[in-house]
Amino acid sequence: MDNLKKAERVELVFRTLQQLYPTTPIPLDHSDPYTLLIAVLLSAQCTDERVNQVTPALFAAANTPQSMVKLSVETIRSIIRPCGLSPQKSAAIHRLSELLIEKHNAEVPQSFAELEALPGVGHKTASVVMAQAFGVPAFPVDTHIHRLAQRWGLTRGGNVSETERDLKRLFPRESWNKLHLQFIFYGREYCTARGCDGRVCPLCRSCYPNRKHPKKVNKP
């Protein structure tokens, strides 16, 4: 069997993910845009599972910008320490909460530019909030999605920004919010960083049945 052409790979990936994951629950526990923003910020270089273990205590202490700024940075840091990078994350959480009060009437802004202007909020975090809190089409790409897109021949991007651009070109805009979660779910279940080298999981084998060597992924 020959390796699939790119259009065939795109169709296969899309169809397979729709079949495997018809529903896409948001992995991070939250109750509103603010708690989602904090949870996504905490998830940087940390698993969603660990974040969900930490946020109940944090949100019990403060689940609004007004209550968060009443906590000291040191108190926030002591609660979120298991998530890693706690000095930077605690300072960012406290300062962005201040800015939400000062500039946005204590509400999470609904634009990429305003979100990305907040401390600790990069494009990927803003994209998750826009997609999952406000339903705005976005395709948040992290290192895991970047890896899958490389293995499936959907991009040659050298970084997550280039991969995001390519995936947005390949898939319908109305599918982006769901699809990025489907990528994540598939990667966790079938195509992990160490569990598949581009020749092991069902999609990798289907896209490239003739692949003889591990797929070298461009590091983001």
Would the pLDDT of 202 be above 70? yes
Torsion of CA 175, 179, 181, 186, to 10 degrees: 160
168: in domain = yes
Residue type, position 11, single letter: E
161: in domain = yes
Q: How much of the chain, in percent, has pLDDT values that exceed 70?
A: 99
- The answer to whether residues 59 and 97 belong to one domain is yes
Collect all residues with Cβ–Cβ distance below 8 Å to 79 and sequence separation of at least 6. Answer: 54, 57, 58, 61
Determine the pLDDT at residue 3.
86
- The answer to whether residues 94 and 185 belong to one domain is no
Q: Which of 111, 134, 157 is the last residue of a domain?
A: 134
- The answer to whether residues 152 and 100 belong to one domain is no
Predicted confidence (pLDDT) per residue in 54-73, tens digit = 999 999 999 999 999 999 99
Q: Domain range holding 55?
A: 33-134
88: in domain = yes
**How many Cα atoms occupy the beta-carbon half-sphere of 143 within 13 Å?**
11
- The answer to whether residues 82 and 144 belong to one domain is no
Average pLDDT over residues 151-165: 95
The residue behind tokens 């909020």 is 121
- The answer to whether residues 10 and 82 belong to one domain is no
216: in domain = no
- The answer to whether residues 107 and 168 belong to one domain is no
- The answer to whether residues 201 and 143 belong to one domain is yes
Q: 5, 6, 124, 197: which is the annotated catalytic residue?
A: 124
Residue 39: give its domain's CATH number: 1.10.340.30
- The answer to whether residues 40 and 113 belong to one domain is yes
- The answer to whether residues 124 and 108 belong to one domain is yes
Determine the pLDDT at residue 215.
93
Q: 29, 103, 142, 212: which is the annotated catalytic residue?
A: 142
Would the pLDDT of 1 be above 70? no
- The answer to whether residues 145 and 129 belong to one domain is no
Q: Round the average pLDDT of the chain to a whole number and report it.
A: 96
Q: Which of 134, 161, 196 is the last residue of a domain?
A: 134
In the chain, the number of structural domains is 2
- The answer to whether residues 151 and 87 belong to one domain is no
Predicted confidence (pLDDT) per residue in 94-130, tens digit = 999 999 999 999 999 999 999 999 999 999 999 999 9
Q: Is 5 a catalytic residue?
A: no
pLDDT band, very low/low/confident/very high, at 217 (cuts 50, 70, 90) = confident
| Euclidean distance between CA atoms 161 and 171, whole angstroms | 16
Q: Which of 134, 154, 171 is the last residue of a domain?
A: 134
pLDDT band, very low/low/confident/very high, at 2 (cuts 50, 70, 90) = confident
Q: Is 142 a catalytic residue?
A: yes
Predicted confidence (pLDDT) per residue in 4-28, tens digit = 999 999 999 999 999 999 999 999 9
Token pair for 138: 């976005």
Q: How much of the chain, in percent, has pLDDT values that exceed 90?
A: 94
- The answer to whether residues 56 and 106 belong to one domain is yes
